Structure 1
Amino acid sequence: MKPSTSSMGEHRATLRRGIRRSSTRLVATAAFAASTLAACGDEPPTLLEPGDLSGAKGDARDAEGGIPGMPPCRTLRSLNQDLNLQAAGKHTGTEVRIDGGGYAFAVVFAASATQPSADEVVADIPTQIDECAKELQDDANRQVKPISDLPDGAIGYKGEEGSVATEYAYVATDDDRLLVVGTEHPADNRSSVSMSSLLDVALKHAPDVTAG
């Protein structure tokens, strides 16, 4: 005896409902698995970890725009802005808050992002500092001076403008990338993070960090 047409239609409808329910469960299971993997996955390495720096606090955050802050003169501001623009996103940076107010940062540029080379950029920093000092020589509210106690190969400066102090250091990494670190803090307080320790930490993490 053949099943009736209505029975066959009901059977097909039941099958379709079952398939839809199975598909929905599969999609939901896949989505849950993906979200679980993402949650459990390792965070990408960063140049700075607050736990590595005495005087740092809170969580690290991305320095997405490149080198932050405002040096006290047009010469050094233009230097940092030109490096950021030339990189066109081929950089990776980290900022952390520091005790006493302000922040510390580190930014590494891809080797292809700096023209001239990282070594040439660093070699030209003393000239840039001298130009800045000339620019500020008649301005009692602003000043700049080189930082002397930095690791070999690094060149930096400290600037002050009113109540704000900024410090920057530039160094070429072993793989020919430009690494820039610095702090911004109240001028009447010494930074709670030293530039030498900041460089040491950033140089230690730099080989694991992809720029851009």
Structure 2
Amino acid sequence: MTETSPTLRLWFMDWHGWMLDHDPLKDAPTRTPFQPGRLPGLCALVPAAFQFPCRPFMEKRVSMPRAFPEMEMQELPHNRVAFFLPRHETYLISVPFGSGLVDYYSPSQKEWETFLPLTLEMLRGLSLLVTPAALKLEDDTGEELPTPALHEQMTLRFGERNLPLFLNTDALTRIGQIMPGTSASIELTWQIDAAPSPVIVHHQTAPTPAPETL
């Protein structure tokens, strides 16, 4: 019997706060708004203990025949990545204009060629954060934080405060693991090079829209 190495599934948020996805009608990568509880139709399979750079296997939820070009996932600062195409020496880019475009042939790596890998647990945590009444967050002064909204630069906006998701991947994982009816102290990092600050996260007991996919 042949043993297989454990793998990790990753989904990807673009610079604009949208998700990499798959359009089954065109059999091509696309971008869609983040929807709480919904898994995008495109993910990457990598070894559980992978190192950068690595060659991900791109998996479509709806199986279609068109193959993906060979891509190399490269490490960027603060938990972010870029997808490099060695054959063309170009980068994957997610363009927000019009109906949006995901293209393989950007000549350089800048903001729009930057992506945030998210595990299933991180997606659960993010889904809970943006779902009204699913959680109650209290900062260290006892003030309750409003339900956040996703914005560009991979940030959550809590009223006047912006939380970079790429600085809080561990926090997303921990939030996704809080059981309904329980609370946990979670540290959030609001700025690069700033010390994290604690918040108390209460997972409400009322049913929350956590669909079967998550």
Greater C-alpha radius of gyration: 1
Higher share of residues assigned helix: 1
